Amino acid sequence: MKLVIVGGVAGGASAAARARRMDEKAEIVILERGEHVSFANCGLPYFVGGEIRDRGSLLVQTPQSLARRFRIDVRTHSDVISIDRAAGKVKVRELQTGREYEETYDKLILAPGASPVVPPIPGADLPGVFTLRNVPDAERIKAWVESRKPASALVVGAGFIGLEMVESLSRLGLKVHLVEMVDQVLPVLDADAASFLKVELQDNGVKLHLGVQATSFELASEGLRVGLSDGSVVEAGLVILSVGVRPETGLAKAAGLELGARGGIRVDDRMRTSDPDIYAVGDAVEVRDLVTGNMELIALAGPANRQGRIAADNAVLGAERIFKGSLGTSVVRVFNLAAAHVGASAKRLARLGIEHRVSWTHSYSHATYYPGAQRMSIKLLFAPSDGRILGAQIVGGEGVDKRIDILATAITAGMSVYDLTELDLAYAPPFGAAKDPVNMSGYAAQNVLEGKVEAAQWDEPAGSGALILDVRTPMEFAAGHLPEALNLPLDDLRENLDTLPRDREILVYCRVGLRGYIGARILSQNGFQARNLSGGIVTWSAATGSGLRV
């Protein structure tokens, strides 16, 4: 049989290698429009910033290595311009020569990927305005920085690539401005979780322009003059456009293949398109969200690799392997913090009308008595009916990646917050705690579900009419507290119950929520209306932008 794959990188290259392992006799052809067939696009920002020094290390496979080991016919600079489904062939244009020819196939796998979105802003095509999607893009940015030695840069878009480029350019010594049209960084997170990143970016000298759009680019003495929608103007030596990607579906659409509601190629759970002889994988396809059940565009390397493997098995072996869907699990480094996400966010659940509950915990990466423990803040979202885990967001130092992977595994397995309390996780002082942060997040959620505590969220104290009760020590209270709060240390609470009103709700808080929980338990068992502020003043301070460092 003859398998033709359109596009390389994660999905296409994985499909080709898997197909060869499954069928030694198959004829396998990869047609790749670009210069490189398989490269680590997730590493591009770190190449620009100098952390990855060797360009060659970004090349996972080359045409030569794929030919030598797998006997795959790889043709780069080859643009597939049409598909003749009835005849089972594609038309190919060699970009370097202009020659066109036809290539037949028995099965076809489309892995066209996605292209960077370039907003229709005047001057977006000027020298010094870049997008970052492939190795040549990274080389152009790196060459610009090394030759021009700009003092400043402006990044448009505060998603994963945008934040990675902010950090990389900052590490090169540039003053960096970050422009994001919504009023937070990393929009995949909820605003309260993203607020920790906002502080970290500002602490590292990044000038944030949130809730603002770039409206124009003009040449200037510094390099470029950027007009913003709030009326301000920023001069920068280069601009990085990182406002998202758009699935490359032109070829599929022209061939009459069905597209989904999100604009991606429609595939079934076998990665088959509406044509049974054509499969599609990667950033261009819509896949099922494992939490909501909706079809979504999820442009991540991990799912693309798995899809490529499944499509190859089904195309070459006639197998019926299933791609169940994706959780969109992701992690990004932002200077000294890591931010990770899995499943659905609270804002997305609210938009879809999915009922959910939220708990915040602030634990440490390992035992606090062992040096170097770093705090991580976990926002857990779960169903009120049965505690099913719907999503999680974690921001902190070391160990964030480990915990988000545990939670991704738990969601995939259909586990609930009750199951998190029973996970038997590895513990030694340099690596974890006897009560792991994941266990702690489960305990906090369990207390909410079982009615052990009524949880309040960070945006509830203002105007609630409740008595705000701070159960920290007087020294902690003096260093900063919620407006109109009364200080009554936890250890003195029982002896002072008579001083508190029984006809008014009491909202209890501490630093991270544990003492507040104990205080709320004491009060509720003594006849008071009490709720605990989930995540304590740490969450409140970050989410409200109070400026308190607690």
DSSP for 336-391, please give it: TEEEEEEE--HHHHHHTT---EEEEEEEESS-TTSTT--EEEEEEEE-TTT-BEEE
Average pLDDT score over residue span 357-379: 97
CB 504 within 8 A of CB 498: no
pLDDT-derived band at 221 (thresholds 50, 70, 90) equals confident
Average pLDDT score over residue span 79-83: 98
**Rounded to the nearest 10 degrees, how much is the dihedral formed by the CA atoms of 52, 55, 59, 65?**
-130
Tell me the per-residue pLDDT of 497-544, one tens digit each, with 9 for 90 and over.
999 999 999 999 999 999 999 999 999 999 999 999 999 999 999 999
Q: Is the dihedral of CA 227, 232, 236, 240 positive or negative?
A: negative
SS3 (DSSP) at 22: helix
pLDDT of residue 425: 97
Q: Is the dihedral of CA 133, 138, 140, 146 positive or negative?
A: positive
pLDDT of residue 38: 87
pLDDT of residue 473: 98
Q: Is the dihedral of CA 14, 19, 24, 28 positive or negative?
A: negative
Tell me the per-residue pLDDT of 434-465, one tens digit each, with 9 for 90 and over.
999 999 999 999 999 999 999 999 999 988 89
Average pLDDT score over residue span 307-325: 96
pLDDT of residue 361: 98
Average pLDDT score over residue span 483-499: 97
Tell me the per-residue pLDDT of 257-274, one tens digit each, with 9 for 90 and over.
999 999 999 999 999 999
Sorted by sequence, the CB contacts under 8 Å of residue 216 that are 6+ apart come out as 121, 122, 123, 226, 227
- Residue 220 buriedness (CB in 10 A; 0-12 / 13-18 / 19+): middle
Does residue 222 surpass a pLDDT of 80? no
CA distance linking residue 443 with residue 510, whole number of Å = 17
510 counts as catalytic? no
Which of the 8 DSSP states describes residue 485? P
Q: Is the dihedral of CA 30, 32, 38, 40 positive or negative?
A: negative
CA distance linking residue 53 with residue 365, whole number of Å = 30
pLDDT-derived band at 547 (thresholds 50, 70, 90) equals confident
CB 265 within 8 A of CB 278: no
Q: Where are the beta strands (DSSP E) in 89-128?
A: 89-94, 100-104, 107-110, 114-116
Tell me the per-residue pLDDT of 99-146, one tens digit each, with 9 for 90 and over.
999 999 999 999 999 999 999 999 999 999 999 999 999 999 999 999
pLDDT-derived band at 253 (thresholds 50, 70, 90) equals very high
Give me the residue label for tokens 């899809």: 307
CA distance linking residue 338 with residue 321, whole number of Å = 34
Does residue 492 surpass a pLDDT of 80? yes
CA distance linking residue 164 with residue 47, whole number of Å = 11
CB atoms within 10 A of CB 173: 10
Tell me the per-residue pLDDT of 465-485, one tens digit each, with 9 for 90 and over.
999 999 999 999 999 999 999
Q: Strand pairing partners for 153? A: 176
pLDDT of residue 112: 96
Instruction: Label the pairing between strands 530-533 and 455-456.
Output: parallel
Does residue 175 surpass a pLDDT of 80? yes
CA within 13 Å, CB half, 194? 19
Q: What percent of the chain has pLDDT over 90?
A: 95
pLDDT-derived band at 415 (thresholds 50, 70, 90) equals very high
CA distance linking residue 513 with residue 504, whole number of Å = 21
**What end-to-end distance do the CA atoms of the chain give, in Å?**
64
Give me the residue label for tokens 């080709």: 16
Tell me the per-residue pLDDT of 23-73, one tens digit each, with 9 for 90 and over.
999 999 999 999 999 888 899 999 999 999 998 888 888 999 999 999 999
Q: What percent of the chain has pLDDT over 70?
A: 100
CA distance linking residue 538 with residue 400, whole number of Å = 18
CA distance linking residue 27 with residue 4, whole number of Å = 8
pLDDT of residue 462: 81
Q: What are the distances in angstroms from CA 303 to CA 34, 236, 408?
A: 22, 36, 13
Query: Taking Cα atoms as reference points, which of 138, 165, 159 lies closest to residue 41?
Result: 138
CB 263 within 8 A of CB 279: no
Higher-confidence position of 38 and 228 = 228
CB 214 within 8 A of CB 204: no
**Rounded to the nearest 10 degrees, how much is the dihedral formed by the CA atoms of 152, 153, 158, 163?**
-80
Does residue 187 surpass a pLDDT of 80? yes
pLDDT-derived band at 550 (thresholds 50, 70, 90) equals confident
Does residue 311 surpass a pLDDT of 90? yes
pLDDT of residue 60: 85
pLDDT of residue 276: 97
pLDDT of residue 448: 96
Tell me the per-residue pLDDT of 274-293, one tens digit each, with 9 for 90 and over.
999 999 999 999 999 999 99
Q: Pick the catalytic residue from 1, 2, 22, 42.
A: 42
CB 545 within 8 A of CB 518: no
pLDDT of residue 39: 87
- Average pLDDT of the chain is 96
pLDDT-derived band at 189 (thresholds 50, 70, 90) equals very high
